[in-house]
Chains A and B, each alone.
Chain A
């Protein structure tokens, strides 16, 4: 893990391309905290899009090029797990890594999310270092 993180950090330092991120959470406070954590992780954000539920996020994915999605699970209208399942059939979203950020920390939720197509899982409360540890490797794989 330490090696992967070091390699990932080097990727950022050596000029990983600018990232267009979509942050999905029904809490606007949490969306801002996630954005700040991404910046603190050294990720160069070209554009940050926000959605307050899975249905809005699907619309954003269809209409915009996105490099990374960070998504809550418990949301009204459409939850994060359903969003991950439906995102797999969105043409623009093919290969776009989705990382869950959620209070749902049970093993079964992690398994459900990863088997639905999520690439990472961060439990709330989280530190910027944890965001870095989980997000940088998936971005590195994508690039």
Chain B
């Protein structure tokens, strides 16, 4: 009985982008009280200065990243904590990592047949824009760009086959 949902899971990753976008929208709406706007992927393909990443292991294996510029990252922390609390760089990293974690969790919870068979790593946040990202995931990949207060936020999911 358990094999069926797993099979279904691997057959339909091409249909997952709307689920990923919904997961992102829900996290921003609930935790930051704002709705993200669609953006042109080609116009905003450059990696931002802040990259949060959460690994997925088990039935779904790969990495989810959330990239944005420093202005967007600081605004995310401010919206989550309030301007009087979100003062340090560490809190900005922490806030962005938690956003990434919640998006990954929300996404996998929406996939049928995932029940308890996909684990998330604790988040990692990289700062600085002068790097190239090389995920060793060799399967499907999807990405979307959404505008948060006019600032691009790039969400990528790369999967192992």
Interfacial chain B residues near A106, Cβ < 8 Å: 109, 114-117
Interfacial chain B residues near A27, Cβ < 8 Å: 94, 97-98, 101
Q: Do most interface residues of chain B lie in helix, strand or loop, or is the interface mixed?
A: helix
- A105 and B120 alpha carbons, distance in the complex (Å): 11
Interfacial chain A residues near B80, Cβ < 8 Å: 29, 33
User: Does B3 lie at the interface of the complex (its beta carbon under 8 Å from any beta carbon of A)?
Assistant: no
Looking at the complex, which one of A32, A76, A102, A125 makes contact with B122 (CB distance below 8 Å)? A76
User: Does A127 lie at the interface of the complex (its beta carbon under 8 Å from any beta carbon of B)?
Assistant: yes
Interfacial chain A residues near B106, Cβ < 8 Å: 103, 105, 124-125
User: Does B27 lie at the interface of the complex (its beta carbon under 8 Å from any beta carbon of A)?
Assistant: yes
Bitwise interface map of A from 20 to 62 toward B, beta carbon under 8 Å scored 1, else 0: 0000001111101100000000000000000000000000000
Given contacts A26-B122, A29-B81, A29-B91, contact A125 B27 (CB under 8 A): yes
Q: Is the CB of B105 within 8 A of A28?
A: no
Interfacial chain A residues near B95, Cβ < 8 Å: 29
Q: Do most interface residues of chain A lie in helix, strand or loop, or is the interface mixed?
A: loop
- A109 and B121 alpha carbons, distance in the complex (Å): 16
Q: Is the CB of A124 within 8 A of B122?
A: no
Given contacts A28-B91, A29-B91, A32-B81, contact A109 B116 (CB under 8 A): yes
- Total of A-B residue pairs, C-beta within 8 Å: 66
Interfacial chain B residues near A125, Cβ < 8 Å: 26-27, 30-31, 102, 106
**Interface positions of B from 14 to 54, Cβ below 8 Å from A:** 26-27, 30-31
Interface size band for B: 20 to 34
CB-based nearest B residue for A25: B98
Q: Is the CB of B101 within 8 A of A32?
A: no
Q: Is the CB of A107 within 8 A of B101?
A: no
Q: Is the CB of B115 within 8 A of A33?
A: no
Interfacial chain B residues near A127, Cβ < 8 Å: 30
Interfacial chain A residues near B105, Cβ < 8 Å: 102-105, 123-124
**Interface positions of B from 83 to 142, Cβ below 8 Å from A:** 85, 90-91, 94-95, 97-98, 101-102, 104-106, 109, 114-117, 119-122
Extra A-B contacts (4), CB below 8 Å, given A29-B77, A32-B81, A103-B102: A33-B80, A74-B122, A106-B115, A125-B102
